[in-house]
Amino acid sequence: MADTELPQLYLVTPPQFELSVFPDQLSRVLDATEVACLRLELATRDEDTIARAADACREVAHARDIALVIADHLLLVEKLGLDGVHFTDGARQVRKARKELGNDPIVGAFCGTSNHDGMIAGEQGADYIAFGPVGESNLGTGAVAERDLFAWWSEMIEVPVVAEGGLTEALVRDLTSVTDFFCFGDEVWGEDDPVAALSALASARS
């Protein structure tokens, strides 16, 4: 990543939300701070619930030219008109996803703290690799992805890298020069004012 380019922002939905409230809240957040990608990541496995949430989020995201990917549900990408899939289990399904979806849809992989898994996912066609958590978080195993991992990756590997999990303003400042994306979820939705929370985190990049 060029030093002059700030990392882009990547937003993850809460694990559950009310369809009567969340789309408006999401709209306000996305209108206040520029976001490159949105990920639908729900706790439920109920396909009807996921489909209705995807419809609502897609309408909000696509109206702002923001890509919407879904966590793990490869079979729902085309069915729901989404832009791609994010795998939470590393490289295992990347090759299959790329074969089934073709070259255009986004395929991403969360690889915890393993640059080996990240390299395999990249070789198999992943568009980005996410490492984390970078702070206190229950993401993955909870083992922290250190700054050195991002520094090595951004210097040696062309596949974009995403920092995710337990981000704070201090960590954003520290990692800005070695990552391509910051991914926020609880850091935004867990606050009383999500608009202000994302704005503060975004501002820490400069």
Span 104-145, pLDDT tens digits = 999 999 999 999 999 999 999 999 999 999 999 988 888 999
Element (H, E) at 148: helix 147-156
Give domain limits for the chain: 8-203
Span 32-73, pLDDT tens digits = 999 999 999 999 999 999 999 999 999 999 999 999 999 999
Which burial class, exposed, middle or buried, applies to 155 when counting CB atoms under 10 A from its CB (0-12, 13-18, 19+)? exposed
pTM of the entire predicted model: 0.96
Residue owning tokens 């490289």: 91
Question: For residues 57 and 70, is the Cβ–Cβ distance under 8 A?
Answer: no
Distance CA 164, CA 159 (A): 16
Query: Can you name the residues that pair with 182 across neighbouring β-strands?
Result: 9, 163
Considering the domain 8-203 in this protein, what is its CATH number?
A: 3.20.20.70
